[in-house]
Structure 1
Amino acid sequence: MKNINWIKNLKKNVGVFLDMLAENNFNYIKYSLSGDIYGRNTNWGLGQNVFMAKILYMLDLLEGIDSDKRNNLINGIKKFQDGNGYISDPLIIKLITKKRFLFFRDKSNEFELEKIRRAETRQSFSALNCLGEKPDKPFLYIPYDERSIGNFLSGFNWKYPWDAGSHFSHLLFFLKLNEI
């Protein structure tokens, strides 16, 4: 039988690792210990904040961080919300837009970008929920009636069910969150 005693220390070791990624009382979360490509002054880092919150939640480590760190983590997510309720990292959207433009020079580029922004928003709302918070604005760019939902779902390529299913899951998440 394999020795799996290392798993007993996993929670503690992950907590130590996360502390090493966090700087200035959780005001900045590094992408990696070896160095980030983009500096602290670049408006980016949503993903790091979201995954920090979710990992702390999953490992039941949120109780171990003080309210200042928790608030900095919350604000590190909320600062990316735009006037329409989307929460997305502008640097990531910019990089993806440049890359995808080479491949999608028509309306499909907008659809792909919308899917990415919706996915980032869902992950961010979920992370805020883990922190006991709600976003400042609801996300309302989803269909609400049966016909619109049918049109939304038929817009996906169900030959790739992982993509279509993921976005169906996003829809259910937002409908529940918005109490529809």
Structure 2
Amino acid sequence: GVEREAQAAVARGLGVRLAHGPLLAPGPDGKIRVPLPVADEQAATTMLGPRVQELLLPAVTLPVGARAEEAVAAFGHEPTITSVILVDEYQRPKGSLDRSRFLLSFAARYGHALHGSKPAQRLADPPRTVPRTTPAVAAMQAAGRDATRVYDDLVVTDELNRCLGIVRVSDLIRQIAAIRN
């Protein structure tokens, strides 16, 4: 039978739904007192992973009115840039240019002639934003909502929805894999 609260916690953790023993016997007043499970805050936090602000990378930003040629130049300066975030005057994200899709549309026949002097916003996707306090697991769920944009960078925002930086989905995958092992 169950004699101590630690035994009850282990049984509950193993999925045991029925138990008996001195710990669960009626008291002098005839009432049965069942110990409630204590949430292990640290274990829950560990399973959710670090917050996205810990994985933050600087975002390459351009004003929302920037021309597509400016975005091409931004991608051309640094080959490791995976996205350019279009922001308004308050640094709030208004669009996201994924490197592959953007440059592919530019490289298409007549792409430069069609898009070069036009606003980059025409080729932008809506930014996928997550608050800076979002756990890695929740950020992965947000990344997976749109099957066509699963690997697009997530834009990390503060309480006023201002762009703080980006988080790459590949970094989230690595962090979650490290937690699971």
For normalisation by structure 2, the TM-score amounts to 0.24
Look at both structures and tell me which one has the larger radius of gyration over its CA atoms.
2
Greater RCO, 1 or 2 (C-alpha within 8 Å, sep 6+): 2
Is the helix fraction higher in 1 or 2? Answer: 1
Say which structure is richer in strand: 2
